[in-house]
Structure 1
C-alpha cells in the first residue's frame, strides 16, 4: 500500500489555488497548506517558522495563547507570548493572558470539569468567537509571511490566490453545527474570508478524528492495516490538549482507497491539559503549609511539571521529581530538596488515571458499537507522546485482542496535515450518525392514552377539524445509521395556514436527540438530551398563487401546504433544507 500522496490525483481546477488547513488546538496550534496547480499532484507543506521561535528549526506548532491589554487589544500571541520580554511587559502594563479559549466554544451538552480551576476571563468587549477570530487572524498572517518568504516568487503566488483561497478548519469530534457556525463567524472576524455567501463557501470543516485518519494514510503509518482489507476495523485516538477524539473505521476497498466509519465518533474532555489541572490542584493541597504554596509558586511548579515530569513519566513504581527551583530551594516536610519536588510514581499515575479510564471506556464503547470490528488502535496527537498513556492503553486493551500503536514521527502535527489530506483525497466514503435527528409534528389526540391525557391542556384544533397535541418527535435520521455522502434522508409533511402571508417566513426547527437509540415520543424542550440543531428557513410565498383554499370548521378558510424536509449528513458538515413543489416543479 502506497502512502496517501502516492495515490493522490492531480488537481483538476483550471486556475492556481491555495488551500490552508488551520488546526487551533486547546494548547497548541498549527497550519498546513497545499498549492493547487492545474494538472499537478498537490504536495502538503507545513508552516514551520513562527515569530518567537525562529531558533527552533522545523517546529510546526505554537502555543494557543493570546495577551490583550486593558482595552481588549491583542498585544502578543503564540510563541511570542511565551517570551521573557512579553511576560515582563504583560506584568508591567496589566495585560491579560487568554489560554484554553477553544474550550469556550464547546457544546453546552459537553460538561467541563476543571478541578476547581476556571477559564481565564475574556478581555473587555470580546466574546469567545472574537478571541478565536483574533487567533485565526494571527495564524493567517504568519502563514502569509511564511509562504511569501519561503517560496520562489512568493509575493506573486500570494497575490494570485489571496481572493480565492480555500480553508479547512478542524474541530473536535464532539463539535456540531452550532460550533461550526461560530468558527465560520470567527474566520470572518479574523479576515480570512469576506462576510458573503461566496466567502462562507470557502470554509470547510473536518473532525480531528477524520483529519488524523488522513494523516495516518498520508504517512503510510497504517500500511499494515490498509494493505489488508480483511474487514477488521481500526480506531484513531487523537489525544490532544483538551479532547480525546475517537473515530473507528474499516477498509472497504484499496484501488482506490475507500474507508468507512463503523461506529459513531466520540469526544471526551480528558486531554493532557486536564492532567495538568489535576496536578495544579494536587500541588495546592500538598504545599498548602509550605512557602511554596503561593499561587505564583504553584503556577511555576505546575508549568515545570508540564514541561518535564508529565512528558517523561513512564513507571509508577519509581520516584518522580519536578525540577522547579535552585539548589537552595528546600522544604523537607513538603518533599522539596535541591529545587526539586519529590513525588511517588503512584501520585503521578493518579493524575493520569481519569484520562486513561475515559480513553479505555470510549474505546470499549467503539468496539461494541462496531460489532467487534475494531482490532487495532492508532494513537496520535500531542498527548500521544506520553509513554505512560501509551503503555497503559496497551496494557488495558491487549486482553481485548486490540493492539495499540503510535507513529514515531510528527504525531503532534497530524491534524493540520490530515485536514489537507481530507481536502485533496477524501478517503472516507461513509460515516455513522452520532445522534438522532428529527422535527416536531402534531400527534392526533388519543383520549385512552395516559400520556395524551396529561398533555390535554396543550390541545389545539386545526382549521380542518382534528384535535392534535404539539411537541411530538418525528425521527428523520436515526442514531448509528451508516450514511454515504450521497444519501439524503427526507420526510414529507403538511401544514395548514389561515393566512397566506405567513408563508414568506416559513421556518422549521431541526431537533437533535442524544438519549440513545429508542425514538422518543415527545420533545422535552428543557431536557439535556434534546437540543436545537438548526433552523431551516424558506420563503414559500410562491405557493400562494397555486394553493387551493378550503373551508374548515365554522366556515373558516385555510390552505394546506405540503413540503419535504431533507437532511444531508454524509459530509463532515450537517446540512438540512426545505423542498416543495410549485406547479409540478421541485424547488429547494
Structure 2
C-alpha cells in the first residue's frame, strides 16, 4: 500500500455534509452591498476567485444614478402608514422623485448613523427627570436548538431614499463587543443590559407598537406629528430588500440558481458587518429586525446570524487583495493602523497582529476613533466656500449652490491630487443644469470675483486644496498619534474617500518608509467591507477535516510465513499452488485521522491471475471495511471476522468496489499468443476525495493509457 499526501495550507475547504448558502451584508450610511457564496463539498472559496461573488444588479441601477454597480443607495420612501414603497435607486429616478412629492412620502436615509452608541449611558436621563422613560429588557438570546419553524423567504423585489427626517439614536448598553472575532447573535454568554430609550421619536428597539414621543406641556394644544417609521422596522425592510436582490441576482447569474437558493434557504447563514464600537444593544436590535423581516425564524439556531466588525473585515479583504506579496504589514507581532475613510467620516483604529497563520488574529491596541473628515466633510466645506464666494452676487441661489456641489462631487473629488501635483490645474463647474428650465440670463452672466463666466465657475487648484486641507490635516494628526502609540509601521487605507488622490498623496508625502508606509488594497474600496466580512467568516469557520475511522480491505495471511495464534481456530484455505492461507485480516488503506485533501490519493495494489480458458469474464470485487478503534475489543488483533463468522466489534462494511477487466485482458500481449494459459493482472484500489464525498474505484493501465472502473461514493457517516 502507498499513500501520497501533499503538505500545505490549503485546508480551508468546506467539508460540510450539506450544501450551504452564505450572505454577507454591508449596510453603509450612503450605500449598501451584498456578497454571497455557495458552499459545496470540498470547495475552496477563499482561494477560488469565482467562489465569493458580489451582487452586481439592483433594481433601477444605472450609471447616472448608481455608478458603482455593486452598491445600491441606502434609502427608502415610506408612505404615511409607515409602509416602504420605494427602495434604493428608484427614489432617485425622476419618476420616483415626482411620486414622492405628489404622495407626500417620507424618504429615509443615513439610518446607520442613528445607531451610534452614546458616550455615556446616563446622558439620556440627566437632562430631565420629569420626562417619561421607556425601559425594556433586551430580548434574551434565543435557544441554540434548531427551530421547528421555517423562515419565510423574502419576495423578489418589485418596482418599488433625500430627507432629513431625524431617526432615534440608540442609547443604552455600553457592554462593548470588544472581540475581534466572529460574534454569534445567539450567545448565551452575552450580558444583555437594560436599554434606556428615553425621549426619542421613532426609536428602533422598542416594543412592537410603542413609539416614544417628546412630552407636551399642559394646557397646550397637542398637534399630531408623523414621526416616521421605527429604526428597527427600517432595518427589517432594508435587509429584506437586499436579500431579495441577492436572490434575484443569484437566480439570473447561476445555473439553477433560483432552485438552489430556495432549496438552501432554511439553512442560509447571514453575516453582517458592524462598526467597531457597536454594543449588544445595536446587535440585539439587528437580530430582532432579521426576525421581523422573516429572514430568520424566532429562536433560530447558533451559527445562522453572525456579526463581524468592519475594520477587521477590511483587514481580511486587504490580506487577499494587496500588492505586497510578503504581507509585511501583517507580520506577527507587528502593528498597523487602519484608516477607513468613508463617506460620512473617517474611522481610525490601531491593530497588533497576534497571529498570521493559518488564521489572521488581530488585537486592537487603540480603540476606534472617528473624525468628521470624509467625503461629507469635504462637501460641507465646499458649501461653505460657495457661500462666501457667491455672497452678494446674483448667483447666490440654493439651486445653483446645490448643482455646483453635485458638480464638485462628480468632477473634482475623484481626481484632485493637490497643488503640489498640478499647481496650474483649473476645474470648471456648470452653475445650472442644461435643459428647458435653465435661466439663460445666468448663462450670459459674468462675475469676476466669483470667477463665473458663460455659465461656468472656475476653481483653481489652490481653491480646491483649501477645501480639502483642513479635513486631511485632521486625519494626518490622528494617524500620527495612533501610529506612535503602537509603534506601527503601516497604514491600511480603505473606504470611498480613501481613493481620493489628494488624500493618498498627502499620506504618502507625510508617512514614508522606514517610519511608516501606506498599504492600499487592489480591490475597489466599495467591495472591501462586504467581501472582507465574508472572508472573515469563512476563514474562521472552515476547518480541515480528517477521517474518523480507518478504511481497509480484508486480506489473506500466509499460514507458513505469518502464522499467529489466532489462526488456530480459523478455516485454512489452499491456493492453486498448494499455498495455505487464512482469510480475514484487516489491511489498512486509509489511516484514521487522515487529512482530507483533493490532491491526496490512497492506493493499494492487487495482483491476480486470470485463466484465458475460463468462460467467466474477469471481474475484480473487493469489500471496503471501516475500523473504529474506539469500538474495538481490548487487545484487538486486527481480525475482521470472528471464528464464528460474524464481524467483530469495531468493524463494519463501508461499500463494495467492482470492476470488469475484459478490456485489460484484451490489451495484454499474452492474450494474442496461444502458448499462455494464465495472464497476470495488476490493479490499483484508489480512494480519493470526490465531488460529493470520498470515493473508491479500481484503476489500471491498458497499453500505457489509464483506465478505471466505476466509482462508489462513501457516505459521510462512514468516514
Say yes or no: does 1:91 pair with 2:101. Answer: yes
1:151 and 2:254 are equivalent in the alignment:
yes
Q: CA deviation at 1:242?
A: 1.9
Aligned equivalent of 1:267: 369
User: What is aligned with 2:536?
Assistant: 422
Aligned partner of residue 379 in structure 2, secondary structure: helix
Measure, in 1, the Cα distance between the counterparts of 2:231 and 2:397.
30
**CA distance in structure 2 between the aligned counterparts of 1:50 and 1:8, rounded to whole angstroms:** 35
Measured after TM superposition, the shift of residue 95 of structure 1 is 3.0
1:468-507 superposed matches below 5 A: none
Match of 1:39 in 2: 42
Tell me the equivalent position of 1:320: 427
Counterpart of 1:168 in structure 2 is: 271
Conservation of the 8 A alpha-carbon contact between 1:287 and 1:293: yes
Q: 1:258 to 1:125 in 2, by over 3 A?
A: closer
Partner of 2:631: none
Residues 8-56 of structure 1: per-residue CA shift (max 9 Å, x gap): 6112332211111100111121110111223322321110111112668
Tell me if the contact between 1:133 and 1:187 (Cα under 8 Å) persists in the aligned partners: yes
Alpha carbons of structure 1 residues 235 and 203: separation in structure 2 relative to 1, 3 Å: same
SS across alignment from 2:57: coil
Matched, 1:377 2:377: no
- Deviation string 1:195-234 (CA, Å, 9 cap, x unpaired) is x231685221111110100111222544332598374323
Instruction: Tell me: CA distance 1:323–1:58, structure 2 relative to 1, closer, same or farther (3 Å).
Output: closer
Aligned pairs (5 A) from 1:572-583: none
- Alpha-carbon contact 1:319-1:344 (below 8 Å) kept: yes
TM-score (norm 1): 0.64
**CA distance in 2 between partners of 1:284 and 1:67 (Å):** 31
Distance 1:132 1:228, change over 3 A: closer
Match of 1:82 in 2: 92
* TM superposition shift of 1:399: 8.0
Q: Is the 8 A contact 1:172 1:243 kept in 2?
A: no
Paired with 1:248 and 1:235, the residues of 2 have a C-alpha distance of 4
- RMSD, aligned α-carbons: 3.1
Residue number in structure 1 paired with 2:216: none
- Paired residues of 2:322 and 2:521 also in contact (CA < 8 A): no
Instruction: Show structure 2 runs of 5+ residues with no match.
Output: 1-7, 46-50, 121-161, 168-225, 435-439, 542-719
Give a deviation string over 1:322-373, Cα, whole Å, max 9, x none.
3343592644143322333233433422333343233223322322332x1x
Q: 1:45 to 1:27 in 2, by over 3 A?
A: same
Q: In 2, Cα distance between the equivalents of 1:6 and 1:338?
A: 64
The residue number in structure 2 matching 1:357 is 473
Q: Are residue 276 (structure 1) and residue 383 (structure 2) matched?
A: no
> Does the aligned pair in 2 maintain the 1:71–1:124 contact within 8 Å?
no
Match of residue 51, structure 1, among 43, 54, 59: 59
Question: Is the Cα contact below 8 Å between 1:21 and 1:33 reproduced in 2?
Answer: yes
Superposition deviation, residue 276 in structure 1: 1.7
**Runs of 4+ deviating beyond 4 Å:** 5-8, 54-58, 250-255
Distance 1:353 1:227 in 2: 28
SS in 1 for 2:412: helix
SS in 1 for 2:16: coil
Say yes or no: does 1:137 pair with 2:244. Answer: no
- The answer to whether 1:105 aligns with 2:115 is yes
What aligned pairs does 1:119-138 form with structure 2 within 5 A after superposition?
Answer: 119-121=164-166, 124-138=227-241
The equivalent position to 1:202 in structure 2, one of 304, 323, 327, is 304
Relative to structure 1, is the Cα distance of residues 189 and 339 closer, same or farther in structure 2, using a 3 angstrom cutoff?
A: farther
State whether residues 233 and 262 of structure 1, in contact with CA within 8 Å, keep that contact through their aligned partners in structure 2: no
| Contact 2:355/2:362 (8 A) holds in 1 | no
Cα distance change, pair 138–261 in 1 and its aligned pair in 2 (3 A)? same
Partner Cα separation in structure 2 for residue 6 and residue 218 of structure 1: 15
* Distance change (3 Å), C-alpha of 1:173 and 1:252: closer
Partner residue of 2:517? 403
**SS at structure 2 position matched to 1:198:** coil
**C-alpha separation in 1, matches of 2:330 and 2:236:** 43
CA contact (8 A) 2:351 2:366 kept: no
CA distance 1:67–1:307, shift in 2 (3 Å)? farther
Aligned counterpart in structure 2 of residue 66 of structure 1, from 62, 76, 79: 76
- Give yes or no for contact 1:28–1:241 (8 Å, CA) kept in 2: no
The CA distance in 2 between the partners of 1:407 and 1:258, in whole Å, is: 17
TM-score (norm 2): 0.53
2:17 is the counterpart of 1:14: yes
Do the aligned partners of 1:397 and 1:403 also contact (CA within 8 Å) in 2? yes
Cα distance in 2 for partners of 1:283, 1:200 equals: 53
* Cross-structure match for 1:566: none
8 A contact 2:22–2:269 mirrored in 1: yes
Question: Pick from 332, 347, 362: which aligns with 1:245?
Answer: 347
State the secondary structure of the residue aligned to 1:156: helix
Does the Cα contact within 8 Å between 1:234 and 1:249 map onto a contact in 2?
A: yes
Cα distance in 2 for partners of 1:289, 1:189 equals: 53
Task: Name the residue aligned to 2:314.
Answer: 212
Contact 1:193–1:199 at 8 Å: present in 2 too? no
Aligned to 2:693: none
Structure 1, unaligned runs of 5 or more: 111-116, 428-588
Match of 2:336 among 214, 234, 237: 234
How do 1:511-550 and structure 2 match up within 5 A?
none
Structure whose residues are more often helix by fraction: 1
Q: CA–CA distance in 2 between the matches of 1:190 and 1:291?
A: 51
Counterpart of 2:505 in structure 1 is 391
- Higher normalized strand content (fraction of residues): 1
